[in-house]
Every structure is written in C-alpha cells, then in structure tokens.
Amino acid sequence: MADSNEKLNERITTLENELTSLRQKMSTLEEQLHEIKPTLEDSFTKSPHDQSIEKEIDLQQASMVRTNEEKLQQQKKQDLNLQKEVPPSNIQGQKKPVEKTKKPPHHDELFERLLGVWLPRIFMVVLILGVLWGLKVGIDKGWISYEARIILGYASTLLIFYFGMKNINKGQKLFGLTLFSGVIAIGILVTVAAYYLYGLINYPIAMIISFVYIALGFIMSKRTNSESLTIFSGMAGFLLPFLIQGATVNTWTFCLYLLILFLTLFYIAISGKHKVSYYVTFFFFQLTLLAYTVLALLPGDEMYIVLTALIQHLIFLLFYVNNAISRSIFTETTIYLNVIFMVGWVKLLDAQQDVPVYGVLAVLYILFAIYGFSRKDIKLQSIFSAVSIFAISVFILSFNVETYESKMLLLLINGAIGIWVGFYFKSIRTMIISGFIYIMTGLSVLAVVSISSWLTIQHATWIVFIATLIFICATLYALATKNYHIKTKSIDFSLIVPQLVSLIYVFKLTILILDTKVKIVDWSLNDHITFLTLLVAIIISFFAYKWRRGIYVAYVAVIEFLFIGLIFLTSPLISYGTSKQIFLFNVFSEIFYLFVFTLLIVVITRGKFPGTNKLQKFSSIFGVISQFVYFVFFNKWYFGFVDIFVWEHDYVYIGHTIWMFLFAFLSISFGARLGWKVVRYLGIILIGVCLLKLFFIDLINVSIVIRAILFIVVGVIGLVYSRIMLKNSKD
C-alpha cells in the first residue's frame, strides 16, 4: 500500500511540473505575438486564410491546456478517495493490519478448539490419578514413608505451579489455568491425607494449608481474570469444611468461614463481571448451608444459620440498590430466590422467634421500597414494593393466633393495598404478587369461613372481603383506565365478582338468622325462605342495569335467577310434619318466582331486555323453555297439594288428567296466538299423551263412577275447546 501511495505522489508531481512548463511556454509565445502584432498590422493586412490558421492554433493550444487541467483534477480526486479509504498512518508509511470480516469457524476448527479446552483438563485428571496410584504402589511396596509421601505431594504442587506460571507468561493461558486447578486439587488432597490418614498435622495447620491453596486459586483467577478457575476454587472452598473436620469446630466458626468465602467469591465475581461464577457462588452458599444444617447442626444453633443467611441477604440487597454490580448480572430473579431462601431459613427458628425475624424482613423491604420511591427509580420501586407485599404476607401468616380468619382479614387488606400501589405507581410486579395473594385469600374465605354469630372475626372477615372488593373496583375505575388504558367495559365486567360475593354473603346471613333467631325445624321451609331471600337479592341486583356500569351485573343476575329456578324445581315442597301453612308459604315463594320468570319472558319477547334486542329473535325458544317450566311447576304443586290435603286415589287421577288437558289446550292457544309453532306442536303431543294416559292408566286405576265423571268432563272440555278453535279458524 505504501509503494502505491509513493507512485501516486510521484505521478501527481510530474503532471504539475508539465503543466507549469506548458504555462511558461504559452506566456512566452503570447509575449512574442504581442511584439510582432503591431509590426504586422502596419506592414500588411492578414489574409483570411492566415487568420483562420492562427485561430486554429489558438484553439489547439487552449484545448491542450484544458485537457491537462482535467487530468490533474481527476488525479487529485483519485488521490483524495484513496486517502479516505486508507488510514492516515498508512499514507505516512506506517503499516497497520487491515481489518477483515470474521468468517464463522469451520466444524474442524470448532472441534480443535474443544479439544484445546478439554484435553488439558482430562489429562490433568489422568495425571492426578496416576500420581495417586503411583503413591499407592510405593506405599504397598514400602518404598515411601508417610512423611515422604506428603513432601512429594506438596513438591508436585510446586512443580505444577511453576509450569503453570511459565505457560501463562508464554501466553498459553488455558493450559496454565488447567495446571493451577491441578495444584489446588492435589494440595487439598495431600492435606486431607496428612490430617486424616497419617496424623502428621493437626486441624488448624490442615485448615491453614488448605486456605493457602484456595487463596492461591483466588489470586490467580483474579490476576488472569479466569471465571473457570474462580468457580473451581470456590467449589473447593465450599467442600473444604466437609473434607477437613475438627472436634473444636462449632456452628459460629463454620458460619464465619462461609461468610468470608462468600464475600471473597462475590468480590471476584463482581469485579470481573463474571455472571456464571456469581450464580455458582449464590447457589453453593445456600447448598453448603443446607448441607451443614442437615448433617451437623446442633440443637440451639439455628440462630447462627439464620443470621448467616440474613447477612448474605443484606449484602446482595445493598449491592443491588447502590448499583455496585451490573443489573444485567445481578438480575431481579436472584432477589426473589434470595427472599424465598430467607423465608425457608427463618422456619428453622421456634414459633416465638420467627415472628420478629419475619417482621424485620417486612420492615426492611418496606424501607427499601421507600428508598426506591425517594430515588424515583422505577425498577427499584416495582421490585421492592412487590417483595414487601410478599414479606408482609409471610409476616402475617407467621402469627400464632387461635383463629385463622384474623390472618385472612389482614391478608385481604394487604393484598388490596398492594393492588392499589401497583396501579398507582404502574408496577406490574406489585400487581401480580398482590393480586395472587388477594385471590388465594379470597378463595379461602369463600371455601372455609362461615358466619356463626354477628359479632365474630368470621363476620368481620366477610365484611372486609366485600369492602376490599369494592375498593379494588374503585381503584380500577380511577387508575386502570388512566395509567394502563384499560377499557371501561372490561372493568364493568369485573363488577360481577363483588356481586357474586355479596350474594354468597346474603346466603350466609340468611342461614345465620334462621339458625339463631327463627330456629325453624322444618327444613323445607328453611330452604324456601333462603331461596326466596336470594331471589329478592338477585332481583335487586338486576336493576343495576339502570346504572351505566351495571349492565353485566344485570346479565349475571338473570343467570343467577335461572339457577335459583332450578333449585326451586328440585327442592321438595313438604317434609316430614309439614303443616298446611308452611306448604302454602312454600307454594307462594315458588309462585312468586314463576311470576317474575313470566315477566322476564315477556320483557325478552317484546325486545325490551336492557342492553340488547338480539334476544327477541329467540322468543320461540324462550316460549318452549317457559312451557317446560310451567309444566314442571304445575305438576310439583299438584302432587304436593293432593299430598298435604290427602286426596283419595281416584280424585288424584281425575284432577291430574283434567289439568293436563287444560295445559295442553292453553299451550296450543298461546302457541297459535304468539306464533310459536313448537309450543303448539308440544301441546298437541301432550294431548296425545293425555289420551294415552286416559285409556291405559286412568281406566285401570279408577272406579266406574269416577271413570264416567272423568270421561264426561274431559269430553265436554275437549268439545268446547274444539268449538273455540273452529270459530277462531273460521274468523
């Protein structure tokens, strides 16, 4: 590149010299022409031919000048383009490597790289095994004494360390780090053998020597910025207390050692921005603490474990809050895991001790959340407000109280406040955690909390449940539409939940009144009073459609109304010992339901149902449904009536057949008048069923007198109705 630039500069210089000499010649010629011109003008006049020749010479000279100037300008442009493409250092003659696009490595290159990474490690393991077996042979043959074995082991670590440093200095970093790993492994194994097998050193010396080897690994990992060596040294450090154990070791010394090891690894990880070693440190710390708790923890030392976990927990939080570690490495997932581990460690304590510790955690996270709000750090606000809601819930659950309903009451309040905080400060994490806590607590209240008295914690829990639901709905209307642009219709739909809960609350209050105040023995009356109360509550909630937000509540009220109808259909009118007055009240409650049901069908068929007119096209289907409902209710009332008033066998058949014919005739008439063909057809089918009943059932089960009366009455009714139908048809 430098040779080409030199040639280019020489060419430009040559062209400039030629242009300069050409301009000098032109100026000389012009001077000569100026000197000759007056003489020529005086002596004679130029001929046209001479003038044309002179003009042609001038044009040629001018074109030669323009051509040379254009060549010079083109050459300068090329020079400028080359200067843009080539760095200045190259123009000055300094050679720098030209960057080339990296091509993806070939499969063979990848295979070679993998071999370069793993082969040294594999053969280091092979070397360690060979040394161990060689020592075993020497021991079996009696060639090597105990002291010599230990000295040879430590000498081999020095030798391997020397070669490792040599390779590091030569640029063979990977091979050198593999040798350093072998130094740590062999050094600790030799120390374990010297302490356990031969008794050549005591526990403190064994631990000091092991610390030296582990510290050496940390120093070299920090110096070489090797994450793999950090992980290997850390794993050796976490395993060390279980490899070398002393009788004088107690829980607090173990915890102190574990904290120092954790801090060392944590510092190396964050200073080197090592993500893998950071997570390995976190999980191995928890795993080592768990292993010691299961294998060696003495009774009464639980507080040391909890304090160790709490200190580690605080270190994580302080580093995260102060941005002392990159949040791409220290993710919020670690905070959640840390909280869960911390909650588990506190469970080691007695019931009297865990409550204040959980309280400290709750206060701690509340303070961190306040700190996040003061700094206007949105992420800190979201994370710590969510965790504080969770910590407060754990604190509430840790209470040792006689009634679990008091815990549910506090959890409902905590969840509702958390939902408000999440919507107000736009924290999705807080909304999710708080919503989960509130939903699970609410389901528990619905499932297990019953109201046994008016002034009880159970009743207060239900009141708080309904109040917090209203508060959450108000929060949705005030904040969800503003901060999250949630449609108002979606919030209108959520009003169904407090309506259902309120209905269940009315049901429980009705049961409470019947059990404590009225004390009715007849269970059929109890059922009908309860269902009638629910029916009134449902009708009241139906009128919520007059409020612009209550249309979905009205729709759900209709569904609840139909469900209550199914209960009315299946509930008996009388029970053992039911009086006539109770029977009449039960029938009245069901008549009231049927009356409201009829009004509902009329509203639907006339297209006046609130919010929609689409149901009107299904009016014939509603007609069939109402026909079925009337038929079932009439049958139920009839058999209840003849049962309570003790009709004779024959009269039961007469009355049933007569009213069935009347019902069939009315079905045909209403079906024809309203245009419900299916209702008419079902009425005709019912007439056929009645005729079959008349001939095959009634004739067999009634006396001849009742038979005559029955046939006369049915015949007269049929003729009269036929005459009416013929008249209507004629008209």
- List pLDDT tens digits, range 86-115: 444 444 444 444 444 444 554 445 444 544
Q: What is the pLDDT of residue 111?
A: 45
CB 554 within 8 A of CB 544: yes
624-to-126, 561, 706 alpha-carbon distances in Å: 87, 18, 33
Band (pLDDT 50/70/90 cuts) for residue 372 is confident
- List pLDDT tens digits, range 59-69: 555 555 455 55
Q: What is the pLDDT of residue 419?
A: 94
CA distance 113 to 312: 38
Q: What is the mean pLDDT of residues 481-510?
A: 89
Phi-psi region for residue 522, left (φ > 0), alpha (ψ -120 to 50) or beta?
Answer: beta
Q: What is the pLDDT of residue 533?
A: 92
- List pLDDT tens digits, range 668-677: 888 888 888 8
Band (pLDDT 50/70/90 cuts) for residue 470 is very high
Q: What is the mean pLDDT of residues 327-337?
A: 76
Band (pLDDT 50/70/90 cuts) for residue 39 is very low
- List pLDDT tens digits, range 430-465: 999 999 999 999 999 999 998 888 888 999 999 999
- CA proximity to 157, closest of 180, 125, 176, 129: 180
Supply 613's token pair. Answer: 């007119």
pLDDT over 70 (residue 46): no
Supply 204's token pair. Answer: 């403190």
pLDDT over 60 (residue 44): no
Q: What is the mean pLDDT of residues 484-498?
A: 87
Q: What is the pTM of this model?
A: 0.69
- List pLDDT tens digits, range 396-422: 998 887 788 899 999 999 999 999 999
Exposure string for 25-43, b = 16+ CB within 10 A, e = fewer: eeeeeeeeeeeeeeeeeee
Q: How far is CA 575 from the centre of its chain?
A: 53
- List pLDDT tens digits, range 272-321: 777 788 888 888 899 999 988 888 888 888 888 899 999 988 888 888 88
Residues 6+ apart with CB under 8 A from 321: 368, 371, 372, 380
CB 412 within 8 A of CB 438: yes
Band (pLDDT 50/70/90 cuts) for residue 35 is low
Q: What is the pLDDT of residue 640?
A: 86
- Mean pLDDT across the chain: 78
Band (pLDDT 50/70/90 cuts) for residue 483 is confident
Q: What is the pLDDT of residue 442?
A: 94
- For the chain, give every domain's residue range: 2-45+54-91, 117-249, 254-349, 647-731
CA distance 485 to 277: 43
Q: What is the pLDDT of residue 127?
A: 58
Q: What is the pLDDT of residue 277?
A: 82
Q: What is the pLDDT of residue 302?
A: 86
CA distance 217 to 215: 5
Q: Which long-range contacts (CB under 8 A, 24 or more apart) does 275-280 make?
A: 275/328, 275/329, 276/227, 276/231, 277/227, 277/230, 277/231, 277/234, 278/329, 278/330, 279/334, 280/231, 280/234, 280/235
For the chain, what is the largest distance between any 2 Cα atoms, rounded to a whole number of angstroms? 172
Query: Any idea what the Cα angle at residue 310 is, between residues 258 and 317, rounded to 5°?
Result: 105
End-to-end Cα distance, the chain: 114
Q: How far is CA 193 from the centre of its chain?
A: 51
Task: For the chain, give the percent of residues with pLDDT over 90.
Answer: 18
Band (pLDDT 50/70/90 cuts) for residue 2 is very low
Q: What is the pLDDT of residue 446?
A: 92
Q: What is the pLDDT of residue 521?
A: 67
What single DSSP character describes residue 613? S
Q: What is the pLDDT of residue 237?
A: 85
- Residue that wins the pLDDT comparison between 20 and 589: 589
- List pLDDT tens digits, range 145-187: 667 767 777 887 888 788 778 777 777 776 677 777 777 877 8
Query: Any idea what the Cα angle at residue 626 is, between residues 622 and 629, rounded to 5°?
Result: 140
pLDDT over 90 (residue 252): no
In single-letter form, the type of residue at position 633 comes to F
CA distance 707 to 700: 9
Task: For the chain, give the percent of residues with pLDDT over 70.
Answer: 74
CB 583 within 8 A of CB 615: no
